[in-house]
Amino acid sequence: MMYEPLEFSEADYPQVEYQRREQFWDPIRLAIFTLVIAAIIGIAIGIVTHFVVEDDKSFYYLASFQVTNIKYNENYGMRTSKEFTQRSLQIERMMSRIFQRSSGPLRFIKSHVIKISPDANGVTILTVLMFRYPSTGNAERIKTKIENILYQSLKTKQLPFTINKSSFTLTSIDNKKMRNLLNNRCGIRMTPSNMPLPAFTSTERIIQGRETSVEGEWPWQASLQLKGAGHQCGASLISNTWLLTAAHCFRRNKDPSQWIVTFGTTITSPIVRRSVGRIILHENYRRETNENDIALAQLTTRVEFSNVVQRVCLPDSSIKLPPKTSVFVTGFGSIVDDGPTQNNLRQARVETISTDVCNRKDVYDGLITSGMLCAGFMEGKVDACKGDSGGPLVYDNRDIWYIVGIVSWGQSCALPKKPGVYTKVSQYRGWIASKTGI
Ligand code: ARG
């Protein structure tokens, strides 16, 4: 009853309304109102620009410093050694502790240890540091910021390693130099905007796999095509001119002039196309047993490395992957047994299976020899298939990818207890070197 509208008479109504309106829209109020609205719009535009219009730029630095509480180990000289990998990971983790959540617009992306060398007082670490900063930034001024953050953390943070402050040097390097540094390092994936591409961890499959969405996700993957017959096999780029593939791919035709190679994530619109000048099959390839199923193909003209065409690393012959190590296989092969080639590159995460298990009577019953490697799942479901042959099985070590296998054979595809069988690349490291000098 309190708000009963009938209490107001119609006669009063226009007057009251008129007065109120005049009071509210007086010039001062109007001015304030306009200012407030303008300010809100301004702030909104600022926020949107800040978050949506990503005008940050990458800045790269080469950092070198002495660490006095690490003793040099001979295996630090070998990039794939367990010692180098573990140390590098620890150093990289320390770097993110130092630079992450550093104040202001400076954003730490990642560090990548390039070298650990012996030193009278311990070891010297050489690492690339990557930052994002608004494009207005100046590399030298950012450098001072980075040094300040580092010196501050040396004083205030509990760090696992003792960095000799006076040994610390920081050099700003440009995009090209960083690219050269990394491109000398095989197996590195970058997005088109020069950001490191992190490893994907979800379960995927070629049979039961997923398409690769990002161009440059598997930049060493090539398609080997026979003129007039299209895609036959996969292959992996290991230098500007050499591809590693399977010997059985050339069973139909060994004439290099009949083959072409394409790069890119689709077969129909490749980024790069090349003809083949030379094909080298392993001398002891045996089609009856699939032994030594490895071959090299040399391009007639070199390909230049970029973010979408890049070589994969060859593993040292000493590399050992324990059973159940996560590895990825990629290819344009069919997704069902005897199905058609896929136009879009696909990837699958599989796991290594020990030769002992793979040679069990109920699995491959002794057919796996020392030059072979099994990968997949005992329950089947995820596997390479026809057309993936010759393609890479790769292993990710600190975002550097190594080719550990070449798709070779399998009983049908993705069957239980019939995992994929791959040529064990480490076993042929010497053979590859003897033919290519790589
Ligand atoms: N040999 C087949 C080819 O020529 C690929 C074999 C891979 N099979 C497998 N189940 N993993 O494409």
In terms of residue numbers, what domain contains 128? 56-184
11 found inside a domain: no
Is residue 73 located within the same domain as residue 135? yes
Is residue 223 located within the same domain as residue 284? yes
Residue 116 Cα distances to 140, 165, 409, angstroms: 26, 17, 40
26 found inside a domain: no
Ligand 1 contacts CB of residue 383 (under 6 A): yes
- Which candidate in 111, 389, 408, 426 is catalytic? 389
pLDDT in tens, 260-307: 999 999 999 999 999 999 999 999 999 999 999 999 999 999 999 988
Q: Do residues 147 and 129 make contact, with C-beta atoms less than 8 angstroms apart?
A: no
Ligand 1 contacts CB of residue 407 (under 6 A): yes
Strands 295-299 and 221-226: unpaired
Letter string b/e over residues 396-418, b meaning 16 or more CB atoms within 10 A of that residue's CB? bbbebbbbbbbbbbbeebbbebb
Ligand 1 contacts CB of residue 331 (under 6 A): no
> Has 306 been annotated as catalytic?
no
Residues of the chain below pLDDT 70:
1-25, 43, 45-54, 102-103, 182-184, 198-209, 212-213
> Has 56 been annotated as catalytic?
no
pLDDT of residue 36: 79
- DSSP type of residue 394: E
Is residue 236 located within the same domain as residue 330? no
Structural domains in the chain (count): 3
19 found inside a domain: no
Counting ligand 1 atoms within 8 A of each CB, the residue from 385, 412, 418 with the most, and so the one to mutate, is 385
Residue 170 Cα distances to 144, 146, 147, 304, 384, angstroms: 9, 9, 8, 29, 45
Is residue 339 located within the same domain as residue 394? yes
**Residue 275: other Cβ atoms inside 10 A:** 14
Task: Indicate which atom in ligand 1 lies nearest the CA of residue 418.
Answer: 10
Partnered with residue 224 across adjacent β-strands are 233, 261
Provide the token pair at 57: 């730029």
> Has 50 been annotated as catalytic?
no
- Give the end of a domain, one of 299, 334, 356: 299
Ligand 1 contacts CB of residue 274 (under 6 A): no
Helical segments of 208-274, H only = none
Return the CATH number at 386. 2.40.10.10
Is residue 63 located within the same domain as residue 160? yes
pTM score, two decimals? 0.81
pLDDT of residue 5: 37
Ligand 1 contacts CB of residue 386 (under 6 A): yes
Q: Give 135-171 as a DSSP string.
A: TT--HHHHHHHHHHHHHHHHHHS--SS-EEEEEEEEE
Partnered with residue 171 across adjacent β-strands are 62
304 found inside a domain: no
